[in-house]
Amino acid sequence: MCEFCSEHGQDNRWYLNPENFSDKLLEDPKRAKTIEKLVGWGIDYYVDFTSRVTEMVNWPVIGKLVKKAVDRIAPKEHGGQVVSLEDSLQLLEYARDFVLLPCACRRLVSHKQEMACLNFGPVKDLMLRYVPGEPIEELTLDEARKLVRDFDRRGYFHQVLYAKIPFPICICNCEERYCTSLKQRFANGVEVALYKGHDVCKVDAERCKECESPWCASRCVFGAISYNPERGGVEVDASRCFGCGLCRGACVHDALSLVPREMVPQAAGKW
């Protein structure tokens, strides 16, 4: 369990604790302000600001101080954690008012319009109030579930985003090229921008049949899968695995599965 779970999970993963979806949490004025800041046209400024600040982590002298400040402040504002398909589907059970919105990262990084941002809770009302002209598609729970499955098949990894921990507001479905959270984590070493997920991938060596071109490896945006010529199959570097589970969908031999992070020594406690 990550630090968010120990504080907000009640013996479960924080985003699977139904209490964390309660509207009561919106009574916190700081949370309400964060959500308002994120919704609508404010997102352009938000991404610009946060990516500029996390870049400062690399600066000499003040870099370490900035990193400490970011680690402390981000959970009080906005951040995300990778989630598997199963966890995504389960957390949707606790949410309400599903709306599909255009992905801000794809728009800001590649000028691409794609409805891939699955929001819930208070977002719908705020969008209609602040940015009524923005494309918005209302969804039922069943439609939301189907959509997340489709995204998974397309190779989009899922991330649960919070507005001030532990209040989940969105499942984002993104790719390496566009995801600004992933970029901030890898370019600037800011883990809190995109926490690793609660699971890690495991290979069943008996079943791994050494495909000519291992599709599982090309699916992994985190570079955790490599071919081991001695064993004649692929290996997962658990310390690099984010637990997205996408690789599983590529394996016709059913050789890959997810296990809890705590069970794998190289990955345990590393978020």
Partner 1 sequence: MAEYKIKVKKSCDAESCGFRCQEACPRGVFLAVPAERHKEKQSIYPRHRITPRFSYFCDGCGICIPICPSQRIKVVLKMTGEKILKKPLANK
Binding region for partner 1 (CB under 8 A): 41-42, 44-45, 47-48, 51-52, 55, 107-112, 176-178, 180, 183, 186-188
Q: Taking a C-beta distance cutoff of 8 angstroms, is the pair 255, 208 a contact? A: yes
Among 38, 57, 247, 264, which residue sits at the site for ligand SF4 (rule: CB under 6 A)?
Answer: 247
Question: Is the four-CA dihedral 208, 210, 214, 215 of positive or negative sign?
Answer: negative
Rounded Cα distance between 151 and 147, Å, is: 6
Q: How far is the CB of 16 from partner 1 (least distance, A)?
A: 31
Token pair for 256: 């890959």
Size of the site for ligand SF4 (CB under 6 A): 29
Which of partner 1, ligand SF4, none lies near 109, with the C-beta cut-off 5 to 8 A by kind? partner 1
Rounded Cα distance between 256 and 258, Å, is: 7
Number of H helices, E strands in the chain: 10, 10
Q: How far is the CB of 230 from partner 1 (least distance, A)?
A: 28
Rounded Cα distance between 110 and 104, Å, is: 10
Task: Return the DSSP state at 194.
Answer: S
Q: Taking a C-beta distance cutoff of 8 angstroms, is the pair 81, 220 a contact? A: no
Which of partner 1, ligand SF4, none lies near 222, with the C-beta cut-off 5 to 8 A by kind? ligand SF4
Q: Residue 172, interface with ligand SF4 (CB under 6 A)?
A: no
Residue 61 in 3-state DSSP?
coil
Q: Which residue lies nearer to partner 1 by CB, 45 or 59? A: 45
Q: How far is the CB of 18 from partner 1 (least distance, A)?
A: 36
Question: Which 119-158 positions form the footprint of ligand SF4 (CB under 6 A)?
Answer: none
Q: How far is the CB of 104 from partner 1 (least distance, A)?
A: 10
Q: Which residue lies nearer to partner 1 by CB, 53 or 259? A: 53
Helix (H) or strand (E) holding 260: strand 256-260
Q: Taking a C-beta distance cutoff of 8 angstroms, is the pair 83, 5 a contact? A: no
Among 45, 49, 59, 215, which residue sits at the site for ligand SF4 (rule: CB under 6 A)?
Answer: 215
Q: What residues are paired with 259 via a beta bridge?
A: 200
Residues that bind ligand SF4 (CB under 6 A): 201, 203, 208-211, 214-216, 219-220, 222, 224-225, 233-234, 236, 241-247, 250-251, 253, 255-256
